[in-house]
Structure 1
Amino acid sequence: MFVIPLGVCGCRTDLAAPGAGGRVDLPVLAYLLRLDDGRNVMVDTGMSRLHVNDPLVTWRGTALADVLTPSMAPDDDLEHQLRLLDLGPDDIDFVVNTHLHFDHAGNNDLFTRATFLVQREHYAAALGNPAFPNRYWNLPGLRFELLDGDGPIFPGVEVVATPGHAPGHQSVVVRLPESGTFIICGDALHSQAGIDQGSWTAQADPVAARASGRRLVELAEAESAILLFAHDTQQAAGLVRSPHGYR
């Protein structure tokens, strides 16, 4: 498993911690899984590479332009990051999207040869919904395989339903023979601080989000797994980053 850094997104802190003031730069990550049979799987695709040259490309002219401010250097382009692993977009066999927000599906358009795995409920909720910019993922030629709840998707890899941040959100459990078990939470868990503070009011459905967060924490405890948060600055700084990885 390779952790791929894809820039930061400047965000009003009250989105993650209601009542707080100011802004914070939140890391944006994607993950590459290399299966034993040689297939390559992306988990999320980060923010669009278009933000390297135009930070406002997604939200210009909308209320969110003041709320979310992507910042990407040329090295944060996903194609560049894949080249560090001697890969290109056509080498990716599957993409698992935790959900289809712009910072998790922004480069889906690169992977025209891949099959995309998304929860059926989430796909239906995101279609035509401006909160999930369709320009990055609802495109001719992209093939979606729609999932219904929990289940294994590859040897050592399974999805678990974690709604709350968005309808049909999913997280991904990765069991590695040497490095142990990791849970890619997506936005079901933004950060360790979110767990510690026990506040879920920034999520779309706080009740479902609380239940999903509790489920992930309990799963991690049961398997001695590491929770990989979506936007935890401290954790992201300490992760082994591509082109080095976890085995």
Structure 2
Amino acid sequence: MSSAPNWTPSKRLQAAAKSERKRIEREMSRLLKQEARHKRELDKIQSMRTRLERELAAIDRFAETDNQPGEPRLRIVEDEHAEKPGLSGAQIREIAVQMIVGTTHANNGIHYRTWYELVVGNGIEISGKDPVAVFLTQMSRSPVVVRAEQPGEYKIDDSFLNRVAQEIQDLDRLIDELDQSDSEATIEQIEQRRQQVKQARARRRSLERSLAEATRSLRQ
């Protein structure tokens, strides 16, 4: 597949991109603070665990419980059912798409299990108790992934960028038209326009999010 087609964003789209960047930066700042807080809590827990382990060791030495058969002992085990850390949500979608962009799979299609094996084969882990199911769910939510002809196969929608960019520009024109005052409009017409503008802006925000993810996913 050829690289993503070039298109010239409108001023409104550029402003929206800047606004989205600020939102992401705020979210990253919030997550960094949350990460630091959790790290402090984890450090505190590990410190308490270390202290308790030392106390147990001291008790064992004094009580000589090491030589007593059948004595129940504390044993720390890993939870085999615990979810393994890994990618989730949009991270899965973007990484997976990037892996097949520019390959024959992008146009001809690839079975989701083969796609999953390609991703994990590159050392990437998928979070969740059923990683394959999580992967399939996320790929079906990708804005640039569509079903291929064969069952279970998916491919890249290479027309998505241009199509959505055009729809955003159409929405811009619609919003501008609806925002124009009309001295002869009735109260009902004014309210109807207000609802149309509200719906158009909501649709535009949704398209901007999809366009941002698509741009990240299709980069090579």
The two structures have a TM-score, normalised by structure 2, of 0.29
Structure number having the greater strand percentage: 1
Structure with more helix by fraction: 2
For the pair shown, the structure with the greater C-alpha radius of gyration is: 2
TM-score by length of 1: 0.27
**Higher relative contact order, structure no. (Cα contacts within 8 Å, ≥ 6 residues apart):** 2
